[in-house]
Chain A
Amino acid sequence: MTTVTEAPPPLAPTPQKKPPRRRGRLTPYWLLLPGILWLLLFFALPMVYQASTSVQTGSLEEGYEVTWHFATYWDAVSEYWPQFLRSVLYAGTATALCLLLGYPLAYLIAFRAGRWRNLILILVIAPFFTSFLIRTLAWKTILADGGPVVGALNSLHLLDVTSWLGITAGDRVLATPLAVVCGLTYNFLPFMILPLYTSLERIDGRLHEAAHDLYAKPFTTFRKVTFPLSMPGVVSGTLLTFIPASGDYVNADLLGSTDTRMVGNVIQGQFLRVLDYPTAAALSFILMAAILIIVTLYIRKSGTEDLV
């Protein structure tokens, strides 16, 4: 702009102040615009579309129509509740395993790795350089019937135990719940490690010294100082693991059987094979609502008290 905007000085002091203020006020909204557009286009619009699909009736041949048929939701729940339950169970178990495996590793990287820190971090991320699908297929080989895992479990007579627990079947590991949970744990482990590492790394080492100085033994120090302070990482890590894992269908598809189908597999099947779009959309919304409720309860419980 080349026009000189000079307000008449003595006459009106109010308009003199206004222009810069208004321009300043609008700037944040202009900056927000791309983000808002993105959200509208790729989040809100598909959601509305799916919501309307979920209450349609009809068939592929005759075309679908919005008839506010909410019974689809009820039918979906009553027919597929085992898959929902399995999703929550598998995803929950995988998340817990990720936390158990990831926490010591994140702790090691943050406090003990020294000059190896960056190398280990790269190793954590390295699997991402290959495709998700290929990595999951690789697990098919690892857990295959004549493979090393089955052999080892067999020689330790652990397969009897796992079969008794119902997480493996007969002499197989592949196509059992154990395989699916292993795949989920493996695939989502980095999503647990990275946030854990970030929050552990931020903890001031002097707090450990202060705890030691105040008679806390190493494990007490961990329990009373380190772990509470790493809660933000625990919460974000479990969310980043649990949410995608509960909607995942690749692991159950490649490593599981028909008995290990998760809700993701059902949705995929309804959309791509059965072509029952209303049921698929309804299932998606139910899954989303279920995750939202679980996550809200979880944050309520772990968040308000301990998060700094």
Chain B
Amino acid sequence: MMTKDTSGDVRLSGISKTYGSFTAVHPLDLTVPQGSFFALLGASGCGKTTTLRMIAGLEEPTSGSVSLGDQDVTNLPPYKRPVNTVFQSYALFPHLDIFENVAFGLRRRGIKSVKKQVEEMLELVQLGEQARKKPHQLSGGQQQRVAVARALINHPKVLLLDEPLGALDLKLRRQMQLELKRIQTEVGITFIHVTHDQEEAMTMADTVAVMNAGRVEQLGSPADLYENPNTTFVANFLGTSNLIEAEVDTKSGDEIVLKAGGGKLSLPAARCSAPTTTGGKVLVGIRPEKISLTHADDAGGIPEGRNRITGKIADSSFIGVSTQYVIDSPVCPEFEVYAQNIDRDARLIPGADVVLHWNPAHTFGLDATQDIDAGVETVGEEASA
């Protein structure tokens, strides 16, 4: 295809959308570089789909502009924009067969001989045999692939995907995630993918923008977002986080020492997104899989320099690769710990006194003025282990 250029860049400048008194999307600036797989992640109603529809031209922004490469497309109707959409419910034309569905965009642009292109595209999505069937004769996964083929055949500068995998069952969804990723790598087109599934966003996208209440909370690579969340929403929405309210005790160089409960915790200054003043409050976060669990009797064997918290096991559930513990601790009522099942300590049963400890480098700090539970209720079941 094209050489490395910026003609497929999507630039949103100050784009917003209000319906009456309700603001679906607050003024938003976003640049999606050419060729990237970009995910807009958020719970339903966060404005992610509205943002996507404004890029497609299906929704008119209240303010701001949309540019593709050097071209301002804000005032162009959808049929004049070089972007294509894979709709949530696929929106395949029920009166046309698969071949004609895929050929639709080409025919509208006055291309006469579509046969070869359509056949190649159907091969790419492995539906060559189904060309003469009607959409309702195909399974959900096949319909989904038709929807992708129908959009991709037009070689759009940007492919927009609106929760394209939402209607599929888990196994098929996994398969399609890899499939879409493969196709994206193969064709090199910019993909903008809207999803509420954090795992889906993290497996597929190079860059994820987490949206909440019409705003982008944080933008970055999946690993970056997971390891360095800037807000409690991101910390809780992407995987699971244990958040503890703590008071700043001392600040020395690149280390901040905090008081929580009776103990002290250490936090690298670089990993704290909140302003810190001595005596001020900070939320301390730690991911459940970074924590080690030691029975209170062996507490002496824990190396020096690790953050530690004492508690009592309230609950444990064995899920195969790991065991998930819920710990009652004076600093935090429900501390979650995921322990790999390598050497299982038989004494770690509910009721046992334990010490939780972790490498201070894995701790992150957040602004304590936020809602500590933001994004919690929407957390998927599959926090990574």
Tell me the A residues contacting B by CB distance below 8 Å: 204, 206-207, 209-217, 220, 224-225, 228-229, 231, 306, 308
Question: Would A209 and B108 count as touching, CB distance under 8 A?
Answer: no
CB within 8 Å for A212 and B94 given contacts A206-B87, A206-B89, A220-B108: no
Minimum distance in angstroms from B354 CB to a CB of chain A: 53
What 5 A-B pairs have minimum CB-CB distances, sorted nearest first? A210-B91, A214-B105, A215-B108, A206-B91, A212-B78
Question: Would A209 and B150 count as touching, CB distance under 8 A?
Answer: no
Question: Would A225 and B91 count as touching, CB distance under 8 A?
Answer: no
24 A-B pairs, CB-CB below 8 angstroms?
A204-B91, A207-B93, A209-B91, A210-B87, A210-B91, A212-B57, A212-B78, A212-B79, A213-B85, A214-B79, A214-B104, A214-B105, A214-B108, A214-B154, A215-B105, A220-B108, A224-B104, A225-B93, A225-B95, A228-B95, A231-B95, A306-B95, A308-B95, A308-B134
Inter-chain contacts of B154 with A (CB < 8 A): 214-215
Minimum distance in angstroms from A137 CB to a CB of chain B: 43
Minimum distance in angstroms from A48 CB to a CB of chain B: 42
**B263 interface residue per 8 A CB criterion:** no
Chain A residue at minimal CB-CB distance from B89: A206
A206–B79 alpha-carbon span in the complex (Å): 14
Question: Would B108 and A207 count as touching, CB distance under 8 A?
Answer: no
Question: Would A209 and B105 count as touching, CB distance under 8 A?
Answer: no
Our count of residue pairs bridging A and B at CB distance below 8 angstroms stands at 65
Minimum distance in angstroms from A162 CB to a CB of chain B: 39
Inter-chain contacts of A207 with B (CB < 8 A): 91, 93-94
Minimum distance in angstroms from A225 CB to a CB of chain B: 6
Question: Would A212 and B77 count as touching, CB distance under 8 A?
Answer: yes
Minimum distance in angstroms from B25 CB to a CB of chain A: 18
Inter-chain contacts of A224 with B (CB < 8 A): 104, 108
**B211 interface residue per 8 A CB criterion:** no
Question: Would A217 and B95 count as touching, CB distance under 8 A?
Answer: no
Inter-chain contacts of B83 with A (CB < 8 A): 213
**B50 interface residue per 8 A CB criterion:** no
Interface size range of chain B in the complex: 20 to 34
A148–B176 alpha-carbon span in the complex (Å): 67
**B16 interface residue per 8 A CB criterion:** no
Inter-chain contacts of A213 with B (CB < 8 A): 56-58, 78-79, 83-85, 151
Minimum distance in angstroms from B214 CB to a CB of chain A: 22
Question: Would B94 and A210 count as touching, CB distance under 8 A?
Answer: no
A225–B104 alpha-carbon span in the complex (Å): 10
Inter-chain contacts of A220 with B (CB < 8 A): 108
A215–B151 alpha-carbon span in the complex (Å): 11
Question: Would B78 and A209 count as touching, CB distance under 8 A?
Answer: yes
Question: Would A216 and B108 count as touching, CB distance under 8 A?
Answer: yes
**B4 interface residue per 8 A CB criterion:** no
**B109 interface residue per 8 A CB criterion:** yes
Inter-chain contacts of B80 with A (CB < 8 A): 215
Inter-chain contacts of A231 with B (CB < 8 A): 95
A228–B108 alpha-carbon span in the complex (Å): 16
Contact of B58 among A209, A225, A229, A306 (CB under 8 A): A209
Q: Told that A209-B58, A213-B78 touch, could you supply 5 new A-B pairs with CB distance under 8 A?
A: A210-B87, A210-B93, A212-B58, A212-B79, A224-B104
Contact of A308 among B78, B94, B109 (CB under 8 A): B94
Inter-chain contacts of A210 with B (CB < 8 A): 85, 87, 91-93
Proximity bits, B66-91, A CB within 8 Å = 1, else 0: 00000000000111100111010101
